[in-house]
């Protein structure tokens, strides 16, 4: 039985910053929701259901925010769903919202994801000394640095690749008015001198801590067809998971990510991702994850993703497969929202509304998110045309 | 094996063979209150109450940031009296350290004059005999307090008939 078609008809996001002291969490969430609704030419009353996601409650010490955000989300009298999948949650939340439409249950769904990192400390909040478990006590960078080191060793990538990605993403972010970091002056030479934070990850190769939210309005085909706004048709979605730790696990290119991508391409009818996808927004919190995910997604052969970076294939200007034209997670990281930003930015590209970071002629785009210990994956393909 | 220390993780083996380990979570957080609650908390430090007006005209105190019925962002403000009527109450005979007063008091739902919703706080009276639903109370503020709920010390009865003659709590 086939699924109903679903389209994104509104993308909204906040201005991301290290501390949005001017708004409560409710106000932050509403800022993104209002922008998504405005883009869709809709108001809250038009919405049938609300799907909300954020990274673990421990990050800000909030307890089930979906309960006290009901007013801000105008959810009185409507179903509200909360999605949890760690850092990938923004992506999986968008997918759950899309599934409500594709299943024919709701016609107009508002989905929102957020993080207010300034209210907590995401780096250490998850380093809890769990009984009978080996403590990590490393923070996100300390956890992922060995994976990056292993990638470099396996692939033989030169050590400047991480800095190249960082300069690209920080430069791209300058064309995105909502990005947290606007740092136009990075050069490869300067980036290589950036302090080593978690060897081999330099300071500039690391995402910031951001407050921010993202929102999408997803509608059924009949509703979309009746609307005179730019649309991104959801061609395929996929999610996969795997355990955090097990002997023989491939943390550099997790099986769940490879399976998720294979399923995504099959559903979207894509046989050669690197040539058939015009632009991708992928979850790169540390710059080395760009070549790692290029391989995991199947855009590059094993151990060759770094060559795409070095050859400029992933550049916004002149690259054949621009990666993270928005500046990516490396320039804005409101964790729970970061995945939805990837999904929303991919939609904006095929809607042709990405402004100064628009990829000319983008017709097919990928949004990607991962979370936990590289164990949760969420992806979608969106297109300018119906599939 | 019940002693917890840095070197002993404090695992406990019970006579029935069940095994448990301690897990203590303690972590500092902050909360950005935003413009709506911020204005309310700042008002308390100035000895006054402010409220938002809902889309149906209801006056909310504490203020609602978004209308609970329609979700509309609320930005119409009104000043509210620091006096009101007790809608309900309950006696607290043995206060804990974290509670607003260090001697027995009444929890009260106070509907301030001009408001359509009740505020939960405490009323300073010597005994439960001094409490009555429908009695009139006024706010007692802390002079020179920083913005925050701590600026509102408690409510106290208005007039002699409430059994409290001017704050004597002996």
The verdict on A72 touching B (C-beta cutoff 8 Å) is: yes
Q: What average pLDDT does chain A have?
A: 95
Quick check: A121 and B27 CB within 8 A?
Answer: yes
CATH of the domain spanning A6-122+207-383, picked from 1.10.290.10, 3.40.47.10, 3.40.50.10440, 3.40.50.300:
3.40.47.10
The encoded tokens of residue A239 equal 């999610």
Contact predicate A364/A383, CB 8 Å: yes
The verdict on B31 touching A (C-beta cutoff 8 Å) is: yes
In chain B, the domains with their CATH numbers are 34-162 (2.40.50.840)
3-state secondary structure (DSSP) of residue A48: coil
The verdict on A71 touching B (C-beta cutoff 8 Å) is: yes
| Closest-CA residue of chain B to A23 | B34
Q: What is the mean pLDDT of residues A369-380?
A: 95
Considering only CB atoms, which chain B residues are within 8 Å of A210? Answer: none
pLDDT of B9? 62
Confidence band of A329 (pLDDT split at 50, 70, 90)? very high
Q: What is the mean pLDDT of residues A240-260?
A: 94
Q: Chain B closest CA to A66's CA: distance in Å?
A: 14
Contacting residues for A158 by C-beta, under 8 A, at least 6 apart? A306, A310
The verdict on B26 touching A (C-beta cutoff 8 Å) is: no
Q: How far apart are CA B51 and CA B58, in angstroms?
A: 10
pLDDT of A7? 98
The verdict on A129 touching B (C-beta cutoff 8 Å) is: yes
Which among B83, B92, B131 is positioned nearest to B110, based on CA atoms?
B83
Confidence band of A58 (pLDDT split at 50, 70, 90)? confident
The verdict on B37 touching A (C-beta cutoff 8 Å) is: yes
Chains A, B: CB contacts within 8 A come to 76
Of residues B13 and B7, more confidence is placed in: B13
Contact predicate B21/A132, CB 8 Å: yes
Q: What is the pLDDT of residues A182-222, one digit of tens each?
A: 999 999 999 999 999 999 999 999 999 999 999 999 999 99
What Rg, from alpha-carbon coordinates, does chain A have?
19
The encoded tokens of residue A330 equal 């490396």
ipTM: 0.83
- Checking if the pLDDT of B1 tops 70, the result is no
Q: What is the pLDDT of residues B77-93, one digit of tens each?
A: 999 999 999 999 999 99
Residue ranges covered by each domain of chain A:
6-122+207-383
Write down the residue that tokens 């920080």 correspond to. A170
- Checking if the pLDDT of B166 tops 50, the result is no
Q: How far apart are CA B122 and CA B89, in angstroms?
A: 9
| Closest-CA residue of chain A to B31 | A119
Q: What is the pLDDT of residues B95-152, one digit of tens each?
A: 999 999 999 999 999 999 999 999 999 999 999 999 999 999 999 999 999 999 999 9
Considering only CB atoms, which chain B residues are within 8 Å of A75? Answer: 71
Helix, strand, coil shares, percent, chain B, to 5: 10, 30, 55
Confidence band of B165 (pLDDT split at 50, 70, 90)? very low
- Checking if the pLDDT of B6 tops 60, the result is no
3-state secondary structure (DSSP) of residue A81: strand
Quick check: B27 and A125 CB within 8 A?
Answer: yes
Confidence band of A136 (pLDDT split at 50, 70, 90)? low
Q: How far apart are CA A50 and CA A76, in angstroms?
A: 10
CA angle A203, A205, A208 (to 5 degrees): 70
Q: What is the mean pLDDT of residues B23-37?
A: 87
The verdict on B11 touching A (C-beta cutoff 8 Å) is: yes
| Closest-CA residue of chain A to B68 | A71
Which among A253, A238, A300 is positioned nearest to A273, based on CA atoms?
A300
- In the DSSP assignment, the letter for residue A91 is H
DSSP line for chain B:
-----SSS---EE-TTS-EE-------------HHHHHHHHHHHHTT-EEEEE-TTSPEESSPPSB-TTT-PBP--EEEE-SEEEEEEEEEESS--TTSS-SS-EEEEEEEETT-SS-EEEEE--SSGGG--TT-EEEEEEPTTPPSSGGGEEEEEE-SGGGT-SSS---
Q: What is the pLDDT of residues A34-54, one digit of tens each?
A: 999 999 999 999 999 999 999
């Amino acid at each position: 039985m086939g699924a109903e078609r679903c389209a994104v008809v509104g993308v909204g996001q906040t201005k991301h910053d290290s501390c949005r002291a001017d708004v409560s969490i409710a106000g932050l969430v509403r800022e993104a929701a209002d922008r998504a609704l405005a883009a869709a030419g809709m108001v809250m009353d038009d919405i049938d259901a609300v799907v909300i996601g954020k990274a673990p409650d421990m990050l800000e010490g909030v307890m089930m925010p979906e309960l006290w955000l009901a007013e801000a989300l105008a959810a009185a009298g409507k179903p509200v769903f909360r999605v949890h999948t760690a850092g990938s949650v923004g992506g999986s939340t968008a997918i759950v919202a899309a599934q409500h439409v594709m299943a024919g249950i709701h016609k107009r769904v508002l989905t929102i994801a957020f993080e207010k990192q300034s209210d907590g400390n995401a780096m250490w909040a998850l380093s809890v000394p769990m009984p009978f478990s080996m403590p990590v006590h490393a923070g996100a960078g300390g956890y992922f640095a060995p994976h990056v080191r292993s990638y470099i060793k396996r692939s033989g990538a030169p050590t400047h690749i991480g800095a190249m990605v960082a300069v690209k993403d920080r430069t791209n972010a300058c064309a995105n008015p909502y990005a947290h970091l606007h740092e136009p002056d990075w050069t490869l030479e300067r980036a290589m001198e950036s302090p080593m934070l978690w060897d081999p990850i330099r300071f500039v190769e690391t995402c910031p801590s951001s407050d921010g939210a993202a929102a999408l309005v997803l509608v059924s085909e009949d509703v979309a067809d009746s609307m005179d706004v730019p649309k991104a048709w959801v061609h395929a979605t996929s999610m996969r998971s795997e355990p955090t730790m097990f002997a023989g696990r491939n943390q550099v290119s997790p099986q769940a990510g490879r399976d998720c991508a294979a399923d995504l391409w099959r559903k979207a009818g894509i046989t050669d991702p690197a040539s058939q996808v015009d632009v991708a927004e992928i979850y790169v919190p540390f710059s080395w994850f760009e070549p790692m995910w290029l391989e995991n997604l199947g855009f590059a052969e094993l151990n060759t993703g770094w060559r795409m970076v070095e050859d400029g294939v992933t550049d916004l200007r002149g690259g054949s497969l621009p990666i993270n034209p928005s500046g990516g997670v490396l320039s804005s990281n409101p964790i729970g929202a970061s995945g939805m930003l990837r999904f929303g930015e991919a939609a904006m590209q095929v809607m042709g509304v990405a402004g100064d970071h628009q990829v000319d002629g983008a017709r097919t785009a990928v949004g990607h998110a991962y979370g936990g210990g590289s164990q949760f994956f969420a992806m979608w393909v969106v297109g300018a045309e119906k599939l | 094996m019940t002693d917890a220390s840095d070197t002993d993780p404090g695992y406990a083996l019970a006579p029935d063979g069940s095994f448990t380990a301690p897990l203590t979570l303690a972590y500092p957080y902050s909360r950005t209150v935003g413009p709506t609650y911020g204005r309310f908390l700042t008002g308390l430090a100035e000895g006054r109450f402010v409220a938002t007006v809902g889309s149906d005209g209801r006056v909310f105190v504490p203020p609602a940031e978004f209308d609970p019925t329609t979700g509309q962002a609320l930005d119409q403000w009104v000043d509210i009296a620091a006096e009101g009527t007790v809608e309900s109450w309950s006696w607290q005979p043995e206060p804990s350290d974290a509670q607003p007063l260090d001697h027995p008091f009444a929890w009260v739902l106070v509907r301030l004059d001009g408001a359509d919703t009740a505020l939960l706080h405490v009323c300073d009276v010597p005994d439960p005999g001094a409490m009555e639903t429908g009695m009139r109370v006024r706010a007692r503020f802390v002079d020179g307090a920083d913005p925050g709920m701590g600026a509102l010390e408690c409510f106290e009865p208005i007039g002699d008939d409430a059994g409290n003659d001017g704050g004597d709590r002996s």
